Each structure stands twice: as C-alpha cells, then as structure tokens.
Chains A and B, each alone.
Chain A
Amino acid sequence: MRIELVKRKEHSGVMALLSPVIAVGSTLIAAALIFTLTGKDPALGLYKFFIEPLTDTWSLQEIVVKATPLVLIACGLAVCYLSNNWNIGAEGQFVFGAICGSFLPILIPDFANGATLPLMLVFGALGGAAWGLIPALLKTRFNTNEILTSLMLVYVAGLLLDYLVRGPWRDPGGYNFPESLIFSDAATLPVIGDGRMSISAPIAVLVVIVLAVVLAKTLKGFEIRVMGESPRAGSFAGFSSKRLTIFAFALAGALAGLAGTMEVSGSLNQLLPTISPGYGFTAIIVAFLGRLNPIGILIAGFVLALSYIGGEAVQASMGVSDKITSVIQGLLLFFVLACDTFILYRLRFVKSRKSAGVPEASHV
C-alpha cells in the first residue's frame, strides 16, 4: 500500500483552524508515550506537565513571563517567514539586544532617572536590529545564505555575553561570580502582580495588535505577503525584495532585542552568562504553530511557555529530565508542519501497483 497526496480543489478552511489543534493533540499522545517509555505514569506525567501549571497563580504568572519574549520574537519571525527570509538567529538577536540594553545600568549606574528605562529599551531594540541586519545585508549584498549566517551569529553573541559577564562587566562586589551589577530601580521594568510579571507582557500584546493591523490592513502587509508568495509578481508592483529583506530582519531583530532587554530588566535584573532557555529557537515553533498570524502567535506563545513550566514541573516532581521540554517542542513542530499539509492536500491510500494489477493508465 502507498500513501499519495491529492491536491484539494481549494484549501480547506476547516483544516486551517483544526491543524494546530490536531498538532497539539498528537503531541500530547507522543508525550504520553515518552512518559511510558521512561517508566513513568503517563497520566500523571501529562497532568503535571500540561494541567497542573494552569491551576495556581504562581505558575500562571510564570507562563506569562515566558510567553512574553516568545510572542515578541515570533511576531518578528512571522514577518521574516511570510516574506521568505529564513531568519533562524533570533536567539543571537535576543542576546545582543540584551547586551546593548544593559550597558546603561551596568556601565553608568548613576544615570538613574525617568529616561533610563526608555533609553534601555531603545538601545536594546537598536542592538537587536543591528545584529539582525548583518545576515540581511550579507544576503542582499553578497547573496549569502541567511540561514547559516544568522545561526552562526547566535554562537558569537552567546560567547560575547559570556566574555562580558565574566570579564569587564562582572560585578566588582560580586565575589567573582560571573554576573553583572543588579540593576537599580530606575532600570527595572515596573512589576505587575506579586510575581516576576512586568509591563513587558502588555507591551507584547500591543505589538501583536499593531502587527495584526499592519499585516491585514496596510500596503506594507500586502507587500510582505506578495513578496513571500510570488516575488516576481511583487517586483512588477514595484516592491523590492532586497529592501523587504532588510526591513524584515531589522524588525525581527528589533523585537528580539526588545524582548532580550525586557527579559533582563524585568525578570533577571542583571546580566548572567546565560539569559535565555532557547527563546529564540522556541519562538520559531511559536511562529509556525500560530500560523504566522499575530493573534495565532499570541495563543501559541502560551502553549510553548507551558512546555517550559511543565518541563520544570515533571523534573521536580517525577525526576524526568527537563530535556523533555525540547523533545516535546521538536515533536510539536513536526506535527504542526505535518498537519499544515492537509490544508492543501488530502491523503489517498492506494494499493501497490503489483497487487492492483492494472497500472493507472487512464492518466496518460
């Protein structure tokens, strides 16, 4: 028996809505299987991973804290992917943005007034954009593959942060621990609630709304979609694919850099050798699970934030490696991509030609 894909006459609206749901459902089944294989109770594992974090206010707040950078980064990535620019280095843009956003409170801690925070956020966004522009300019100028260059810059940014925190930016009063000064109050984002939640969360929601309007209602949004689907048609309309590449990377970098600065200023309050549990990579999954749509991304951000909290929960309570988070994230992306196929195609099972006897001659 063989499996064949048959193109649908028009793309299935039902599947477009159902596909993320089916993908999440399939991931749950796969997760249950993993728990069983590692000798744990699958029902308890699923409960601890996916349900329990939703039942108390502390972990709900932590989910918002983790969803915020994911949503911000994924919004920028969606613009990149819609316009066929494969930026997979958001992790580096996040880190470099955080570095640029932090130099003010670390190097000039006495500069503490109302202008500190806005300046930090601006520097963070500019830094992230600058880091994102490197692969974009290499692509437009030298035709260099942006996938590989943006990824290589992730390692470079990580090593730069490591150097700064262990070297020149280390807290002189910090007993030689590799960490920076703790930011002053003027450099800390205002907190919401009693946990680590800060005003970064409403800022992320604002970005989602603005991007949703821009993509759906403006000429820029039209340009992004046209250039992604048919660059040739776009060029007749006077759109430049090079300018759009630069725009998409700069926007994605700026949002990632903003997310990095807000993570440092709002949640960590200092620079550490590692400031991200892979937000930049997880955001790629968020972008796809959200179907490259800002509102979808907002929902998907919560799903993937849950995977971080759930991973910590099963590690603490059941002794499962927290690496299960990354396994579940990888599987989820596979299922999302596979389910998306069924928006355009349906499956047909055909008996193999030998047993069917007659080859399909009617098509010739």
Chain B
Amino acid sequence: MFEAVLLTVITAATPLLIAAVGELVVERSGVLNLGVEGMMIMGAVVGFAVANQTGSGSLGVVAAIVAGMAMSALFGFLVLILVTNQVASGLALTILGLGLSGMIGEAFIGVPGLRLPELYIPVLSEIPFVGPVFFQQDALVYVSFLLVGAVSYMLFKTRAGLILRAVGDNHVSAHALGYSVVRVRFMATLFGGACAGLAGAYMSLAYTPQWVENMTAGRGWIALALVVFASWLPFRVVAGAYLFGAVTVLTFHAQAQGLGIPSQFLSSLPYLATIAVLVLISANRRLTLVNTPACLGKPFVPDR
C-alpha cells in the first residue's frame, strides 16, 4: 500500500518538477513566462498525437519538446524583440495553447494512448521496496532528476550560468559588459518551453496515457508557484514538486476511501495549498529577496 502510494506520488510530482525547473531557468534570466500552462498542454496534445500516429513514445516526447519550444519562441519574439507586457503575453500564450490543443486533440478524444515503458535499472531494481520505487520508473522520472542536477550545476558552477544570472539580476550592467541580453533570455525562454513541453508529454504519455481536454488542470500555474516556493533554487523545486505530488495523491486516496468529504473540497486542496505555501514563503522577506532575480519581468531595450 505504502509502496503504491509512493509510486503515484512520483508520477504526480514529475510533470510539476520538469515544468518548474524549466521556468526557474527562464525567471533566473529575468523573464516571467506565465504561459507554462499553455506550453504544457500543447506538449501534452502534440506528444499524444505523434506517439499515437507513429507508435513511438520517444518520437512523441521529442515532438512535445518541439511544440513547447515553438510556443515559447512565439512568446520570446513578442516579449524580447517587441518588448510587450510579459504578464499579458504569458496569458495570451495560455489562452492560445488551450484553444489550439483543443482543436488538435478533438480527433484523439477517447483514443487509447501509449504508455512510456518503465526502465528497469539492473541490480538496483531488484532491491525490495527501494527497487520498485526508485529504480523501476519510466525514463522521464530519471530525466527530471538529471535535469535538476544539470540546471543547478549550470546556474552556479559554469560561466554560462553566471552570465544568465547576471542578465537576470542587472540587465543594464550585463549589456554594458557586452553580453547580448536578448539572446541569453531567448535561449532561456526556449529551454523553459522545452521543459514545459516535456512535462506535458509526461501528462499524456505516462501520468494518464490518454488525451483529455484541459488535462493539465492548472499544473502549469502550480509549477509557476513552485518556482517562488523554491525561492529560485533548483533543489528546493524537488521538495516543492514532491510536496504537491503528495497532496494530489492524498486527495485521490481520500476520495477513494469515501471519507464523506465532498470530492470538490478535496480537489481544491492543491490550489488552496498553493496559496498557503505562497503566503508562507512571501511573508518571509529575507528568504524571497535574496534570490529573486532583480530584473524579473522588466523589459529591456538595448540602446545601441
């Protein structure tokens, strides 16, 4: 029982983790992309459609990443080249993504999906309890952890990460030093789009292998909240994502047990938990101010 719960927590946490780590990089570069939900749902539908048409889960995953990047490129063009309002542009991206995915997905409603195969790590997966939980997951679960490690290393141990953080903290100085603020931000935005697309593919190919309209159900927004919760530090995103995975799974189990609590109240728990967590984190000024990218959401027009 406990093992089964832990397994579902991992699958519920993985899409949040992937999307949030991507958005963390975007925000570290100073861009606020509120379109995570839209990019994620596009990843979900494109991933499902391609996997369904080709019979290959990996092709589906690749297509989902491309779809997420295409959406983020559109956002990047508007926000970075035409310096449009970032909040409104992110909303537009979400509205567009929800609509487009609905149109594309109409043909796939009720079509049985493809589940990404589990990867059995030799030897380790044989260990009782620990094996099935940690070493018999689908590839994307491992990818999510590699991603966190790689992002953390890149941000804090490499020159590229230093430049990215400089651009996010003080774009005027970074520009004066000769770094192309727009190019760095565009790359970061594309990376965020790729992650959101991948997270969407996880939804429709592993979490619930089918296409349902609006199936991301606000997970893109929760991923955005997780970045704040993590105060822009990659490893804290893991804690946040697994906390939310646990809340989601507990509500499922509470519903199945039939505790007499209306299902709608249980379903609203992840959203209420998001608010509670945001309040707790933001009330602590010291925690948030240290890591918040100083130029987050501020437009930059290079004076040449």
Contacts and interface: CB of A to CB of B under 8 A. Distances in A.
B96 interface: yes
B103 A138 contact: no
Interface string A104-137: 0000000000000000000000000000000000
A156 B268 contact: yes
B83 to A, nearest CB: 6
A334 interface: yes
B99 A327 contact: yes
Interface string B250-276: 000000000000101101100110110
Contacts of B34: 147
Contacts of A323: 99-100, 102-103, 106
B264 A288 contact: no
Given A323-B103, A325-B99, A86 B268 contact: no
Interface stretch (B87-95, B203-211, B240-248): B87-95
Contacts of B98: 326, 330
A145 B97 CA distance: 23
B84 A340 contact: yes
B63 to A, nearest CB: 18
Given A144-B282, A148-B225, A152-B272, A324 B99 contact: yes
Contacts of A155: 217-218, 268, 271
Interface string A330-364: 11011001101100010000000000000010010
A138 B87 contact: no
Contacts of A166: 264
Given A284-B88, A338-B84, A160 B264 contact: yes
Contact of A326 (B102, B262, B304): B102
B88 A288 contact: yes
B217 to A, nearest CB: 8
A330 B97 contact: yes
Given A142-B279, A147-B34, A152-B272, A330 B102 contact: no
Interface residues of A, number: 49
B74 interface: yes
A284 B90 CA distance: 12
- Looking at chain A's contact residues, the main secondary structure is helix
Contacts of B89: 334, 337
A334 B96 contact: yes
Interface residues of B, number: 48
Contacts of A250: none
Contact of B82 (A149, A160, A321, A338): A338
Contacts of B94: 330
A153 interface: yes
B265 A159 contact: yes
B220 to A, nearest CB: 10
Given A4-B304, A142-B282, A325-B99, A148 B88 contact: no
A210 interface: no
B102 A337 contact: no
A151 interface: yes
Nearest to A163: B264
Nearest to A162: B264
B302 to A, nearest CB: 8
B174 interface: no
A321 B102 contact: yes
A160 B218 CA distance: 16
B301 A5 contact: yes
A285 B99 CA distance: 15
A327 to B, nearest CB: 4
A152 B96 contact: no
A156 B81 contact: no
Contacts of A145: 228, 278, 282
Contacts of B93: 330
Contacts of B267: 159
B123 interface: no
Contact of B283 (A142, A148, A281, A330): A142
Contacts of A317: none
B78 A326 contact: no
Interface of A: 3-5, 7, 38, 86, 88, 138, 142-145, 147-149, 151-153, 155-156, 159-160, 162-163, 166-167, 281, 284-285, 288, 321, 323-331, 333-334, 337-338, 340-341, 345, 360, 363
Interface of B: 34, 38, 74, 78, 81-85, 87-89, 91-100, 102-103, 106, 217-218, 221, 224-225, 228, 262, 264-265, 267-268, 271-272, 274-275, 278-279, 282-283, 285, 288, 301, 304
Q: Which 6 A-B pairs have the closest CB atoms?
A: A330-B96, A326-B99, A323-B102, A327-B99, A333-B92, A330-B95
23 contacts: A4-B304, A142-B282, A143-B283, A144-B279, A144-B283, A149-B278, A149-B279, A152-B218, A152-B271, A153-B271, A155-B268, A167-B262, A321-B106, A323-B99, A326-B98, A328-B99, A329-B95, A330-B38, A330-B92, A330-B93, A330-B97, A334-B92, A345-B83
